[in-house]
């Protein structure tokens, strides 16, 4: 987990252009960059500032240390997730490819993304296409304070983005805007305190490579699990209020070494901006390890 940034909400400007953009972007969402979430306004908005993230976290390092030489079958599903998340960047390199969809009563938005880590370098790309086309790439080297970012000027039908000249953000600016730092690949807080329901034990399965894997489902608390995620939604969509989730469900597959193989997210939510729009968001993330040259260069169009 990277450094935490102080979050400062931006003043909201109410005009016709912002109304149109907010509705579109709120529907499109950005998960791992493009959320798949929703919100209610007024008294239903939780007071997120009253909760302490550290108080909601378990000691993942102790869990990981204690799991040496053990099998996921010996742990509760949420513990398996915590161990896998803690060890994510210890495997030399990791590449996470994501694809998803947001269905709403007035529009449909496609989402694709890539997150990669190799030799101390981090990379994220998120592309969304539909009623609004959005693309962004970000590069970060561990220990630096400056990130290099690109915004797309065009997104093709095959979900490939063309990019403008680069610009920079500080580590804290990126963390504030996106809710979680660039060197964190999991937006949700998963722990014994944020899981509402789970399988009693992970289901033993056979992976595509013939090896043993484990599958389980986690139903997350719609407030505690999204303390970081909601700021990503508010800041990137310039919402006047913080969002409130209806539900979040993760279906997770890991291997015998506690490596994530896939995470499938399902969220139901309502977007409110003058009227209510019911939405269903889905995202599938697949993980690969030990690859080389997985961080691409960006050509400016």
Q: What is the pLDDT of residues 168-202, one digit of tens each?
A: 999 999 998 888 899 999 999 999 999 999 999 99
Element (H, E) at 108: strand 108-118
Our CA dihedral for 284, 101, 226, 178, rounded to 10 degrees, sits at: 100
- pLDDT: which is higher, 242 or 86: 86
Number of domains in the chain: 1
Taking alpha carbons only, the member of 280, 282, 247 closest to residue 262 is 282
Q: Are 161 and 155 in contact (CB under 8 A)?
A: yes
Q: Determine phi and psi for 71, rounding to 5 degrees.
A: -105, 150
- The per-residue pLDDT for 266 is 96
Query: DSSP 3-state assignment of 177?
Result: helix
Counting DSSP H helices and E strands in the chain, the numbers are: 6, 13
pTM of the predicted protein model: 0.84
Using pLDDT thresholds of 50, 70 and 90, give the confidence band for residue 2: low
- pLDDT: which is higher, 77 or 269: 77
Taking alpha carbons only, the member of 47, 45, 25 closest to residue 36 is 25
- The per-residue pLDDT for 280 is 82
Quote the tokens at residue 130.
């539909």
Is residue 103 domain-resident?
Answer: yes
Distance between CA 43 and CA 45 in Å, rounded? 6
Check pLDDT > 50 for residue 30: no
Is residue 265 domain-resident?
Answer: yes
Using pLDDT thresholds of 50, 70 and 90, give the confidence band for residue 72: very high
Distance between CA 45 and CA 7 in Å, rounded? 17
Is residue 296 domain-resident?
Answer: no
- The per-residue pLDDT for 224 is 93
Is residue 11 domain-resident?
Answer: no
Domain span at residue 283 reads: 16-289
Element (H, E) at 262: strand 260-272
Residues 288-301, mean pLDDT to the nearest whole number: 93
Is residue 264 domain-resident?
Answer: yes
Is residue 186 domain-resident?
Answer: yes
Euclidean distance between the first and the last CA atom of the chain, given in angstroms as a whole number:
34
Check pLDDT > 50 for residue 42: no
Q: What is the pLDDT of residues 201-256, one digit of tens each?
A: 999 999 999 999 999 999 999 989 989 887 766 655 545 666 778 999 999 999 99
Q: Determine phi and psi for 271, rounding to 5 degrees.
A: -95, 130
Query: DSSP 3-state assignment of 93?
Result: strand
Query: DSSP 3-state assignment of 245?
Result: coil
Our CA dihedral for 103, 151, 182, 83, rounded to 10 degrees, sits at: 40
Is residue 300 domain-resident?
Answer: no
CA angle 194, 123, 289 (to 5 degrees): 75
Is residue 220 domain-resident?
Answer: yes
Check pLDDT > 50 for residue 54: yes
Query: DSSP 3-state assignment of 289?
Result: strand
Q: What is the pLDDT of the chain when averaged over all its residues?
A: 84
Q: Are 98 and 112 in contact (CB under 8 A)?
A: yes
Question: Residue ranges of the alpha helices (H) in 44-92?
Answer: 53-56, 60-66, 77-86
Check pLDDT > 60 for residue 7: no
Check pLDDT > 50 for residue 283: yes
Quote the tokens at residue 2.
């990277």
Residues 259-267, mean pLDDT to the nearest whole number: 96
Element (H, E) at 115: strand 108-118
Q: What is the pLDDT of residues 104-137, one digit of tens each?
A: 777 788 889 999 999 999 999 988 888 778 888 9
- pLDDT: which is higher, 82 or 274: 82
Most confident listed range (65-69, 134-138, 271-275): 65-69
Quote the tokens at residue 206.
């056979």
> Which positions ≥6 away from 249 have C-beta within 8 Å?
217, 218, 219, 220, 265, 266, 267
Check pLDDT > 80 for residue 13: no
């Amino acid at each position: 987990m990277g450094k935490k940034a102080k979050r400062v909400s931006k003043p909201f400007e109410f005009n016709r252009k912002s109304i149109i953009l907010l509705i579109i972007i709120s529907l499109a969402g950005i998960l791992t960059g493009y959320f798949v979430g929703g919100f209610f306004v007024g008294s239903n908005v939780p007071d997120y500032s009253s909760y302490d993230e550290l108080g909601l976290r378990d000691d993942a390092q102790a869990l990981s240390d204690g799991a040496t030489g053990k099998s996921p079958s010996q742990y509760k599903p949420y513990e398996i997730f915590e161990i896998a998340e803690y060890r994510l960047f210890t495997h030399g390199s990791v590449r996470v490819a994501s694809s998803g969809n947001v269905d709403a009563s007035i529009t449909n938005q496609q989402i694709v993304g890539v997150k990669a880590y190799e030799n101390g370098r981090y990379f994220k790309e998120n592309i969304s296409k539909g009623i609004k086309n959005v693309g962004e790439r970000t590069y970060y080297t561990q220990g630096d304070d400056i990130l290099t970012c690109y915004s797309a000027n065009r997104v093709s039908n095959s979900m490939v983005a063309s990019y403008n000249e680069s610009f920079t953000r500080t580590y804290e600016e990126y963390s504030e805007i996106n809710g979680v730092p660039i060197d964190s690949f999991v937006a949700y807080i998963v722990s014994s305190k944020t899981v509402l329901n789970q399988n009693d034990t992970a289901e033993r399965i056979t992976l595509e490579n013939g090896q043993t894997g484990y599958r389980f489902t986690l139903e997350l608390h719609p407030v505690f699990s999204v303390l970081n995620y909601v700021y990503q939604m508010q800041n990137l969509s310039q919402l006047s209020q913080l969002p409130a989730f209806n539900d979040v469900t993760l279906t997770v597959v890991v291997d015998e070494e506690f490596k994530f193989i896939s995470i499938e997210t399902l969220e139901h939510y309502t977007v409110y901006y003058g009227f209510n729009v019911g939405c269903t968001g889905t995202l599938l993330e697949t993980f690969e390890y030990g690859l080389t040259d997985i961080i691409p260069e960006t050509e400016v169009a």
